[in-house]
Amino acid sequence: MKQSRTHNCNELRLADAGKKVTLCGWYENMRKVSKTLGFLVLRDFYGTTQIVIETEDMMNIIDGINNESTISVTGTVRERSSKNANLPTGEIEVVPEKIEILGKCIYNELPFEINRSKEADENARLKYRFLDLRNPDVKRKIVLRSNVVAELRRSMTEEGFLEITTPILTASSPEGARDYIVPSRKFPGKFYALPQAPQQFKQLLMTSGFDRYFQIAPCFRDEDARGDRTPGEFYQLDMEMAFATQDDVLGVLEKVLVPVFEKYGVYKRVSPAPFERIPYREAMEKYGTDKPDLRIDFCLQDATEVLGSIGFDPFTEKSIKVAVVPGFTATRKQIDQLVADVEVQTAQKTYWFRVDEQGEIVGGIAKFVQPVKEKVIEALGLKPGCFVGIAAGTQAVAQKTAGVLRSKLGILCPDHMDKEQYKMCWIVDFPMYEIGEESGTLEFCHNPFSMPDGGMEILEKAERGEVDPLSINAFQYDLVINGYESASGAVRNHDPEIMVKAFNLVGLGEAEVKSKFPAMYNAFCYGAPPHAGAAPGVDRMIMLLTGEESIREVICFPMNGNAQDLMCSAPSEVTEKQLKEVHIKIAE
């Protein structure tokens, strides 16, 4: 079939004047001056071109066409008398001799104005996503995503990695989130699961003799949505290396990611490699989170000793963390909103006071601090103009609450947060184990397939009671960019004996390990190489590159916050026949 257009709508220039051309695209809008004069904007994927209507016959044709219909325009290019320097095609216009409707929009009114779709209600945008994507600003983010993924593929291939796809239908595995399960037609009562990540498969590839693997992997987790996390499915740059250490993996990702952020990011300053490495416990103490935003120039301080005995009941026998902000100029209304926002996010109260220009303690809990003013000023290094935000509770609660307080103070105080950059760091030395909030028993903290620092020896000491399991570190690492966890990885536990011992500590015996992870356990018994890997999140990476606050802005067809596809009406009911085929009956 012959191409129906000679040029796209971003292609014609003054040098094309006099040419007869055919353009195809969407009828964006029309500025009608009279019955015989109007200016039509034609838009396609590439851009826009002005079509000038100069006859009553042509105007009659246009009057019968609704906005967003697709049309073909054949005519002659000429120089515009009133040029638009903001458009690549702003020096020319096309005078049509033929206009043909290719695809009619039957509606006189649209759900929203295409070029202002981002101002519309999000549910309307998601229901009519095919219209939302016609907005050039929305489309550009999807184009950028495609370019970034191509760049990642090219870089990983140059680093010697093979792109290998892994199964989508697999077995359910305890990876930390809820599985999406798929009933089996051939095996009544049994289910497949969609992979939360290709974790086991990529480790099996290492045992199979593949040296370096990657893929842009779809992952499926039945999780609630957040601004930086989409429910249902997401994509990650999944990678694994045989005979590799933690340093090997971190070095490859630094080499691959820095150029991507330098080339495509909205901020042109990027942390140079090697990135700062911060041990987990240090991160919690200094920043109150394992996802610190290093663009903020102040850290947390421990004030348990100096504030614990001032007679303020919420501080009694509690761990106390403070964020000190010099030169704080926020109003009382802003402070009250800050405290309220932290409480909404953490369910914990926070407290405050400030040092005025005369060096006096004022505001918040000042009356409790005043009797020990000099001691507090010296211990916390306070100067006139300092604001002190305070969190108290158990050590973990105080740290996490103060971490949220620090992040919100950074946003509130632009002098203390250099936003125009990508500040990257590695969080390392994660605890291998933790006490589960719900179970109250020992659980894996981050990833059950990680190698403990100390190997079999440290696990045996923990088993004998010589070492607290909570003190054991794992070779696990997260990449954090501007306060967002952007990649997670680990040196894997490739030794079946160490693997069984690690699971023993959380109450799982060898038989249970074999039954839960039969493929990996068996493969490791046949001589597995030491291996390590990681998985940067593609969706979150694009969100950071574009400066968007919602991850849904960079996904072509996202679900809403309730994991619904409003455009295709999913999830939806299925027929009784379909249910019967997979041996399922819906409970009343």
Output the six-digit token pair for 46.
């590439």
- Partner residues linked to 479 by β-bridges: 426, 487
Parallel/antiparallel/unpaired status of strands 20-34 and 37-43: antiparallel
Residue 483 counted as domain residue: yes
**Full domain range(s) for residue 99:** 14-103
Task: Give Cα separations from 385 to 64, 256, 377, 414 (angstroms).
Answer: 67, 43, 12, 16
User: Is residue 171 located within the same domain as residue 77?
Assistant: no
User: Are 406 and 432 contained in the same domain?
Assistant: no
How confident is the model over 503-558, as pLDDT tens digits?
A: 999 999 999 888 888 999 999 999 999 999 999 999 999 999 999 999 999 999 99
Same domain, 397 and 443: no
Q: Residue 406: what residue type?
A: R
483 & 511 share domain: yes
Q: What is the CATH number of the domain that holds 522?
A: 3.30.930.10
Please give the tally of structural domains in the chain.
3
Residues 261 and 543: beta-carbon distance below 8 Å:
no
Q: Are residues 271 and 316 in the same domain?
A: no
Residue 403: which of 307, 483, 311, 514 has the closest Cα?
483
Q: What is the pLDDT of residues 396-417, one digit of tens each?
A: 999 999 999 999 999 999 999 9
* Residue 49 sits in the same domain as residue 69: yes
Looking at the whole model, is its pTM more than 0.85? yes
Question: In CATH, what number is assigned to the domain containing residue 308?
Answer: 3.30.1360.30
Residue 224 and residue 513 in contact, taking contact as beta carbons nearer than 8 Å:
no
Say whether both 319 and 216 belong to one domain: no
Going residue by residue through the chain, which has 588 residues, state the pLDDT in tens, using 9 for 90 and above: 345 899 999 999 999 999 999 999 999 999 999 999 999 999 999 999 999 999 999 999 999 999 999 999 999 999 999 999 999 999 999 999 999 999 999 999 999 999 999 999 999 999 999 999 999 999 999 999 999 999 999 999 999 999 999 999 999 876 568 899 999 999 999 999 999 999 999 999 999 999 999 999 999 999 887 767 788 899 999 999 999 999 999 999 999 999 999 999 999 999 999 999 999 999 999 999 999 999 999 999 999 999 999 999 999 999 999 999 999 989 999 999 999 999 999 999 999 999 999 999 999 999 999 999 999 999 999 999 999 999 999 999 999 999 999 999 999 999 999 999 999 999 999 999 999 888 899 999 888 889 999 999 999 999 999 999 999 999 999 999 999 999 999 999 999 999 999 999 999 999 988 888 899 999 999 999 999 999 999 999 999 999 999 999 999 999 998 999 999 999 999 999 999 999 999 987
